[in-house]
Amino acid sequence: MNIQVVNFEEKFAMISELHSYKVIAQMNDCHFKLVRMKREFIWHSHPETDEVFMIIDGSMQIDLRDRTLTLKQGEMVVIPKGIEHKPSSREECKILLIEPAGTINTGNAGGNLTDVELEWI
């Protein structure tokens, strides 16, 4: 078994492009993914799973149908399965996502923003 410490700063330095999800660890059936985000995403939900957004650097908003959540560095939120949400960030935001392996970023919405080519770094 190869047990290693993961340094977020080092891993983010390996990600040059925005909106490209990179897997950095796995615990049981869950992937820990990093993404550098600067865009308005699409409305979507994940009918089969909850999703964790943890802000490593920067800030972002997550629109829900009844309100908007604002998250900043050092904060996180769990979006329950089946809840429609739309993440966005005006400035670059570094995010750690925790979700079951195989979870599609666009959930039930699909479309050209779907990222299925996940690279391990």
Q: Is residue 62 part of a domain?
A: yes
pLDDT digits (tens, 9 = 90+) for 22-73: 999 999 999 999 999 999 999 999 999 999 999 999 999 999 999 999 999 9
Rounded distance between C-alpha atoms, residue 115 and residue 98, angstroms: 16
Q: Is residue 90 part of a domain?
A: yes
Q: Is residue 1 part of a domain?
A: no
Q: Please count the other Cβ atoms lying within 10 Å of the Cβ belonging to residue 52.
A: 15
What's the longest Cα–Cα distance across the chain? 46
- The residue type of 72 is K
For residue 116, the model assigns a pLDDT of 78
For residue 115, the model assigns a pLDDT of 81
The set of residues, in sequence order, having a beta carbon less than 8 Å from that of 55 and lying 6+ positions away, is 71, 72, 73, 74, 75, 76, 93, 94, 95
Q: Is residue 48 part of a domain?
A: yes
For residue 113, the model assigns a pLDDT of 81
Compute the mean pLDDT over every residue in the chain, rounded to the nearest whole number: 94
pLDDT digits (tens, 9 = 90+) for 66-103: 999 999 999 999 999 999 999 999 999 999 999 999 89
Number of domains present in the structure of the chain: 1
Evaluate if residue 119 carries a pLDDT over 80. Answer: yes
Q: Is residue 60 part of a domain?
A: yes
Q: Is residue 99 part of a domain?
A: yes
Q: Is residue 114 part of a domain?
A: no
Phi, psi at 64, each rounded to 5° = -110, 170
End-to-end CA distance of the chain: 18
Judge contact between 22 and 34, C-beta under 8 A: yes
Q: Binning pLDDT at 50, 70 and 90, where does residue 118 land?
A: confident
Is the whole-model pTM more than 0.85?
A: yes
3-class SS at 10? helix
Q: Is residue 56 part of a domain?
A: yes
Q: The domain spanning residue 48 has which CATH number?
A: 2.60.120.10
Residue 51: domain span: 8-108
